[in-house]
Structures are given as structure tokens and as C-alpha cells.
Amino acid sequence: MTYHVPRPRLPMINAHHPTQGMPGGLVVAFPLNEGSGKITNGYPRGSIGTGTTHGWRKTPAGFGAEFVATSNERIDVALPTLHAATSGCVSLWCIPDSLAAQIQLIGFGGAADTGNGGFLQLHALTTGKVQIRKRDQNTSSLPSVTGDTVMTAGNVYHVVASATGAANGWAIWVNGHAETLTTSVANSGIWYGAAVVTAPKHLTIGQVQIDGLYSAASWDGTIWDVRWYNRIPTTAWVNELYLHGDELYKLRA
């Protein structure tokens, strides 16, 4: 496997730092670099992700969580403050092994409903393009925005997705590039707290729960260094995160 993007190391800092006032607006980070076991530890201390992955794989950062699209694999992030957030962004690094199916990066969904279940997802299409898509419970509308960068299997990508909570508020960056978005239906700009989803709600890495089921294809490849921020990023900030992500831990919003 060839890696085309150098990845700066992720320092093991802020493990004892409280959530309030964390550098750069950081809410929680999951390096996914354990290399063994079935529990991944996040920052701030006490943030834990649980679930089932295919294992661990070497990445430019050390290790990452490996997923297989057909194996229904995911990491569940049980963090109510994120579930309720109405704006913010998520940053992650990934390597797709295959793009034969629509594969999930980050999903937010819930239990079964009497009609269509609601969800908000960040995933890669079979075209290799990254998309944000949502559906409110008991509706059929599927608003989405799709980027223009085409990912290819075996290469390393840094992906950032953000939402302002207002109309036309969704944005995507891939490897520091602000994506030119193609909009389907509407760019609603909502984040997790405004998604109409039936409780209990699940925020997941590598999958999305829809109508109580994890029926979509899991991510097919590796994901690592997943971070949620309570800020709306600029392209300049995303580029700093892309090129010098470890330094962002030392900056305050």
C-alpha cells in the first residue's frame, strides 16, 4: 500500500485536560491508535468508544482502526454533549480499501420508528466523493451535499465536515481543499442536535444506525485520529489541521 500524504504524529497530550476550554475548541478526540483490544480511549480522559472493528492496521500515524464493509463494524461514541451540539465540525484521517459500495465515515442515527428513521451521515460514494446526507424521521426527503475530490483506494485522506446549524451551512474539506459542493434538495446545514432522530441515539465511527439497524455498508479500510470541535472552521484553519494537526492541540479558539 502506498501512502501519498505525510502524516504528523498525534501527541499523547491533554489526557488530563477538562473538556471546558480544551485547545482549539476540541470537544473530544479518538486517536484510534491502541493497536490491540476492543476499547478505544479518547481525550479528555474518560471518553471511551466501544464496538467491533476488524482489528488494527499500521498507518502513517502509527495505528488505525480497520473496518470491512460487509462485516457491520463500528465504534460507538457515547457522548451526550456531542449528540446535542447544533454546530461544529469533525476531522478524521482515512484510507479506503475499496469504494465498491457507499461506505460510512461518521453516522448519527437512532432507534426504529413507525415510519422512516432519521439519520445524519458522512460517507464516501462509489464515485469516491465525500457526501453529507440527512433524513428526518418519518420523512422521505434526503438533503445532501457532495464534494468534488475523487478518493481512490489505497491512498490517505484527511476529511473535515462542518455544519453551522443554518441553511447552506454544510461544508466539506478533503486534504485541505474546500470542496465545491453539489447540492441535492437542500443544504440544511444541521448538526447532530437538530437531527430529528428517535432515541436512543447513536453517534458512530465507521457506520450509521438507520431505523434501529446498522444495515448500510461499514467503512471499508482504516480510520484514525477522529476529532470533534465546537467551532466552525475556515479553510486556513483546516489547512493547519491537515499539515500540522498535532500543533492544533496547543492553540485555543
Quick: pLDDT tens for 197-224: 888 888 999 999 888 888 778 999 999 9
pLDDT more than 90, % of the chain: 47
Q: The CATH number of the domain where 219 resides is what? A: 2.60.120.200
The answer to the question of residue 253 being in a domain is: no
The answer to the question of residue 6 being in a domain is: no
Q: Counting Cβ atoms within 10 Å, is residue 134 exposed (0-12), middle (13-18) or buried (19+)? A: buried
pLDDT in the model for residue 151: 98
The answer to the question of residue 3 being in a domain is: no
> Cβ(44)–Cβ(28) under 8 Å?
yes
- Give residue-wise pLDDT tens across range 225-247: 999 999 999 999 999 889 887 54
pTM: 0.86
The answer to the question of residue 85 being in a domain is: yes
The answer to the question of residue 130 being in a domain is: yes
Residue for cell digits 469504494? Answer: 99
The answer to the question of residue 15 being in a domain is: no
User: What separation in angstroms does the CA of 219 have from each of 112, 121, 154?
Assistant: 22, 12, 13
Residue 85, strand partner residues: none
Query: Does residue 85 have a pLDDT over 80?
Result: yes
How many residues are given for the chain?
A: 253
- Give residue-wise pLDDT tens across range 96-151: 999 999 999 999 988 887 767 788 999 999 999 999 999 887 777 889 999 999 99
The answer to the question of residue 10 being in a domain is: no
Structurally, the chain folds into a number of domains equal to: 1
Cα–Cα distance, 182 to 142 (Å, whole number):
14
Boundaries of domain holding 184: 24-246
Cα–Cα distance, 13 to 190 (Å, whole number):
31
pLDDT in the model for residue 39: 65
The answer to the question of residue 65 being in a domain is: yes
